[in-house]
C-alpha cells in the first residue's frame, strides 16, 4: 500500500524540482558548477527516455533498466560527424545543420564512462526522491544492469604519444598561421579560436569545464609572463603561467579573432561561437575533431579533451617535471591523483634502463676500456 505522503508527480515535475535543488546547491557552493551541470543534464535526459508524463512512483526497476539501455544506444552527439549535407566547415558549437541527412554516418553510441556517469546521476536523483516523498521505494534497488568493466583506459582517454601530440599541435599552429588569409565571412572565421583551444588543452591540461568557463579577464600579465587564473573544482583557483607560444596565440585571438565573433551576447566569455555565444562543453570535442582532420593520417588519433589532460600530465612527468608542480598545473588537491593521469609512453622503459643510475660506473669503465664499449677483458686472447 502506498503511503499517504507520496506525491503522484510526473517524471517531468520531479526532474524540474530536482534541477532547481541542484542549482540552489550550486549557488550556495555545495556543488561545483560542472557537477551541477552534469546532474541537471542527465536527469533531463532521463525524463526524455523514461517518458515525461509518466508518474515517477510507477517506474519499476525494469523501467529504469530500459532507460539505461536506451541511453547506452543513444548516439553521442559530441562525436557526430556530418555527411555531405551536414555541418559546414568551421561550424560546431551547436551550429550544425538542423535537418538530418540520410547519408550522414551514425554517431557513435555512448562510451562506458558516459554510461556509468549517467547511471550515477539517475541513482542520485532517486536517492533524493525517496525522502522528498516522490517515490515509495527506490527502483534502483531492483535494477539489474551494471556499468561495464572498463578494462583500463580507453584509447581516446590515453595520452597521445609525442609524435601524435606534435601532429595535433602542428595542425593547430597551422590554423593560426593561416587565419589572416582564410576564406569565408570574416565574422564566422574560427581558425584562431580553434587553434587556441587545442593549444590550451594540450599545454595546460585544464578540465573542459574550466576552459569553457574562462573569461577574458581571467588572463593577466605578471613580470612579463602571461598567466591564466583557472577557477577549478570546489571553488579553488590556480594561476598557471602560459608557455610563450600559447600566450602569443592568445594575444592574437584577443586582438583579432575574438572581436570578429563578438555579438555582445557573452561580453566576458573568452571562447565564443560564430553566433557570439559562449562555447559549451560538448562543443570543444567538435573543435578537436576538426583540427585532428588536418593531421597527417599516420600521426592522427582520436582524443577527447580529457585525453589531452592526460597528455599534458604524462609528458610533463616524463620530462622529469616536479610532481608537485604538475599537480598544481592540473589543479589536483592530492598528489596521489596524478597516478591516474600518468599513462605509459612507447619506449619510456627502454630509455629509463639505458640511463640506469646504478650502472653509471659500469658504463664509464666500459667506455674507457681499450677498444671502446663492448670490448671485455679477455677478448682477443
Catalytic residues: 207, 233, 306, 309, 332, 341
Phi, psi of 35 (to 5 degrees): -65, -45
Q: Are 77 and 107 in contact (CB under 8 A)?
A: yes
What lies within 8 Å, CB to CB, of 32 at 6+ separation is 26, 233, 234, 235
CA distance 219 to 230: 9
Which among 208, 223, 379 has a CA at the least distance from the CA of 310? 208
Q: How far is CA 319 from CA 239, 299, 315, 341, 345, in A?
A: 22, 21, 6, 15, 12
> Max Cα separation, the chain?
100
In a 10 Å sphere around its CB, with 0-12 CB exposed, 13-18 middle and 19+ buried, how is residue 8 labelled?
exposed
CA separation, residue 244 to residues 165, 202, 208, 288, 324 (Å)? 18, 14, 22, 22, 22
Q: Find out whether 178 and 191 touch, Cβ atoms under 8 Å.
A: yes
Amino acid at each position: 500500500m502506498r503511503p499517504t505522503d507520496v506525491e503522484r508527480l510526473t517524471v517531468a515535475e520531479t526532474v524540474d524540482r530536482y534541477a532547481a535543488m541542484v542549482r540552489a546547491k550550486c549557488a550556495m557552493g555545495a556543488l561545483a558548477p560542472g557537477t551541477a551541470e552534469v546532474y541537471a543534464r542527465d536527469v533531463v535526459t532521463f525524463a526524455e527516455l523514461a517518458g515525461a508524463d509518466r508518474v515517477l512512483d510507477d517506474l519499476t526497476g525494469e523501467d529504469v533498466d530500459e532507460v539505461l539501455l536506451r541511453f547506452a544506444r543513444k548516439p553521442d552527439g559530441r562525436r557526430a560527424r556530418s555527411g555531405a549535407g551536414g555541418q559546414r566547415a568551421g561550424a560546431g558549437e551547436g551550429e550544425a545543420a538542423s535537418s538530418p541527412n540520410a547519408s550522414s554516418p551514425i554517431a557513435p553510441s555512448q562510451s562506458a564512462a558516459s554510461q556509468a556517469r549517467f547511471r550515477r546521476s539517475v541513482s542520485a536523483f532517486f536517492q533524493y526522491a525517496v525522502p522528498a516523498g516522490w517515490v515509495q521505494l527506490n527502483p534502483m534497488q531492483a535494477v539489474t544492469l551494471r556499468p561495464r568493466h572498463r578494462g583500463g583506459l580507453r584509447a581516446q582517454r590515453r595520452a597521445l604519444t609525442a609524435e601524435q601530440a606534435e601532429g595535433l599541435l602542428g595542425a593547430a599552429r597551422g590554423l593560426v598561421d593561416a587565419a589572416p588569409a582564410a576564406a569565408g565571412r570574416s565574422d564566422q572565421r574560427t581558425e584562431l579560436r580553434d587553434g587556441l583551444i587545442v593549444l590550451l588543452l594540450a599545454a595546460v591540461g585544464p578540465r573542459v569545464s574550466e576552459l569553457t568557463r574562462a573569461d577574458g579577464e581571467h588572463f593577466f600579465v605578471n613580470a612579463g609572463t602571461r598567466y591564466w587564473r583557472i577557477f577549478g573544482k570546489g571553488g579553488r583557483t590556480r594561476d598557471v603561467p602560459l608557455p610563450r607560444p600559447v600566450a602569443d596565440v592568445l594575444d592574437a585571438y584577443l586582438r583579432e579573432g575574438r572581436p570578429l565573433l563578438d555579438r555582445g551576447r557573452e561580453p566576458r566569455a573568452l571562447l565564443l561561437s560564430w553566433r557570439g555565444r559562449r562555447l559549451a562543453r560538448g562543443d570543444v570535442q567538435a573543435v578537436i575533431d576538426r583540427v585532428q582532420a588536418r593531421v597527417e593520417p599516420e600521426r592522427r588519433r582520436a582524443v577527447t579533451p580529457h585525453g589531452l589532460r592526460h597528455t599534458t600530465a604524462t609528458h610533463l612527468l616524463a620530462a622529469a617535471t616536479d610532481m608537485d608542480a604538475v599537480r598544481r598545473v592540473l589543479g589536483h588537491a592530492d598528489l596521489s591523483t596524478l597516478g591516474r593521469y600518468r599513462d605509459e609512453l612507447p619506449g619510456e622503459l627502454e630509455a629509463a634502463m639505458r640511463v640506469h643510475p646504478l650502472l653509471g660506473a659500469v658504463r664509464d669503465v666500459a667506455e674507457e676500456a681499450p677498444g671502446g664499449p663492448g670490448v671485455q677483458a679477455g677478448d682477443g686472447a
